[in-house]
């Protein structure tokens, strides 16, 4: 990571914390408080940031040697609203290819009920000289 931007990460601002990670499964949490929309519900965009964060980390863990991964497409289906507590995202790979990888991210509230299902596809690109590692 580029140290010049270390204090500017959106995941930090939303309180996202990765709690478990392997190339086969990544888990992160995010507080609902501070990430609300005007009706007092967890903002759908916060779900999207959580999903893209865990999916991107999982893609990086599975990336071919010498490649960077960037998001290509993100799709989120919001099933129910979270109003308080913490949501948990579990990310697992659906496809791991040479140039693309796709992940399913299931977000649940503290009771275990699914609040969002997301799918992220990332593309592996060559690491440009001088680009952050």
Catalytic residue IDs: 52
CB of 17 within 8 A of CB of 29? Answer: yes
Distances (CA, A) of 74 to 24, 50, 55, 59, 122: 19, 11, 9, 13, 9
Distance CA 108, CA 79 (A): 10
What is the sign of the dihedral through the CA atoms of 55, 28, 10 and 118?
A: positive
Copy the structure tokens of residue 6.
């270390």
Copy the structure tokens of residue 5.
């931007």
């Amino acid at each position: 990571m580029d140290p010049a931007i270390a204090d500017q990460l959106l995941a930090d601002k939303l309180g996202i914390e990765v709690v478990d990670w392997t190339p086969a499964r990544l888990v992160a949490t995010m507080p609902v408080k501070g990430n609300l929309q005007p009706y007092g519900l967890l903002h759908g965009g916060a779900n999207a940031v959580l999903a893209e964060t865990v999916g991107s980390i999982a893609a990086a863990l599975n990336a071919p040697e010498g490649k960077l991964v960037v998001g290509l497409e993100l799709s989120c289906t919001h099933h129910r609203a979270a109003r308080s507590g913490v949501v948990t995202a579990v990310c697992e790979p659906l496809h791991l290819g040479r140039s693309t990888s796709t992940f399913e991210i299931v977000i649940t509230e503290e009771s275990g009920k699914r609040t969002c299902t997301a799918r992220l596809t990332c593309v592996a690109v060559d690491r440009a000289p001088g680009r952050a590692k």
